[in-house]
């Protein structure tokens, strides 16, 4: 079983989130995931949330990894990992429609097929996986600028 991996070092600066999104889009295209596939937007949103959490909540550098599992076109698993140097565990909370923060891990929980985290020698690694053959879930607008997620998947860390 061959797994392909690419990674990007992230500095402790909120501007790095945009750089991570652009980098991820280019890497996804390199692994035969077409730019117009719904999977691309889902993965870029997941990456954005995990990198934002690392940058905003830890203030530490991080490493973003994309791992592409075996499978032909349209199949296989894409795993997103963000490792940072903070040993503080991620904290998921349930944001109301009026809240302007606090949706990161809720988005991850709603859009990924699986997610979790683990402590490491120097910090932690938070990860999520999306099965390429599964239909992508889209956020549901509850007010202009606010979203709720379908809760069709559970955390199977």
Taking domain 4-148, whether its CATH number is 3.90.1300.10 is answered by no
Which residue, chain included where needed, has tokens 């992230």?
10
How many other C-beta atoms lie within 10 A of the C-beta of residue 62?
A: 26
| Residues linked to residue 62 through DSSP beta bridges, in sequence order | 10, 84
Mind listing the pLDDT tens digit of every residue in the chain (157 residues)? 567 889 999 999 999 999 999 999 999 888 878 788 888 999 999 999 999 999 988 888 999 999 987 755 556 889 999 999 998 877 766 655 655 555 678 888 889 999 999 999 889 999 999 998 766 555 444 454 544 554 443 344 4
Decide: 62 and 54 in contact? Cβ < 8 Å.
yes
Going through the chain in order, the beta strands assigned E by DSSP cover 4-10, 62-68, 77-84, 114-120, 123-131, 140-143, 146-148
Single pTM value for the model: 0.77
As a whole number of angstroms, the distance between CA 72 and CA 34 comes to: 14
As a whole number of angstroms, the distance between CA 59 and CA 56 comes to: 6
Domain boundaries defined on the chain: 4-148
| Residues linked to residue 114 through DSSP beta bridges, in sequence order | 129
């Amino acid at each position: 079983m061959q797994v392909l991996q690419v990674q990007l070092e992230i500095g402790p600066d909120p501007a790095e989130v945009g750089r991570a999104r652009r980098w991820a889009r280019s890497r996804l295209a390199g692994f035969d995931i077409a730019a117009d596939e719904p999977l691309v937007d889902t993965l870029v949103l997941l990456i954005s949330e995990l990198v934002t959490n690392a940058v905003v909540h830890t203030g530490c550098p991080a490493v973003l990894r994309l791992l592409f599992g075996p499978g032909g076109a349209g199949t296989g698993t894409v795993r997103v990992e963000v490792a940072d140097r903070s040993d503080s565990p991620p904290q998921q909370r349930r944001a109301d429609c009026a809240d302007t923060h606090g949706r990161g891990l809720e988005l991850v929980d709603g859009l990924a097929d699986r997610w979790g985290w683990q402590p490491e020698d120097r910090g932690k690694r938070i990860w999520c996986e999306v099965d390429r053959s599964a239909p992508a879930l889209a956020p549901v607008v509850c007010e202009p600028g606010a979203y709720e997620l379908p809760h069709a998947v559970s955390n199977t860390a």
